[in-house]
Amino acid sequence: MNTAMRLPCQERPDDLWFADAPDEVALAQALCRGCPVRRACLEDALDRGERWGVWGGEIIHDGVIVAVKPRVGRPRKDSTAA
């Protein structure tokens, strides 16, 4: 790899790759799309057992790739629960 090349994850704050806001997660994924090490990044993250974040353009939540990051906070109360 060219040592002068800066990858998207090196040019943005670390917390972008672990964001909760859907628009920030989408930005992280978009930035990954053109990255030359995207596939290796994802494979390495899975091999390491990463639990959270955007890796190689994919969302990892609780150690698995998911299509959409779950919302943070408490789940809604069931209307039948007392």
41 labeled binding residue: yes
11 labeled binding residue: no
CA–chain centroid gap for 76, Å, is 24
**Residues in Cβ contact with 45 at an 8 Å cutoff, skipping those fewer than 6 apart:** 53, 55, 56, 60
80 labeled binding residue: no
21 labeled binding residue: no
Between helix 22-33 and helix 38-48 the angle, nearest 10°, is: 120
8 Å CB contact between 39 and 56 = yes
**Known binding-site positions:** 9, 32, 35, 41
**Known binding-site positions for [4Fe-4S] cluster:** 9, 32, 35, 41
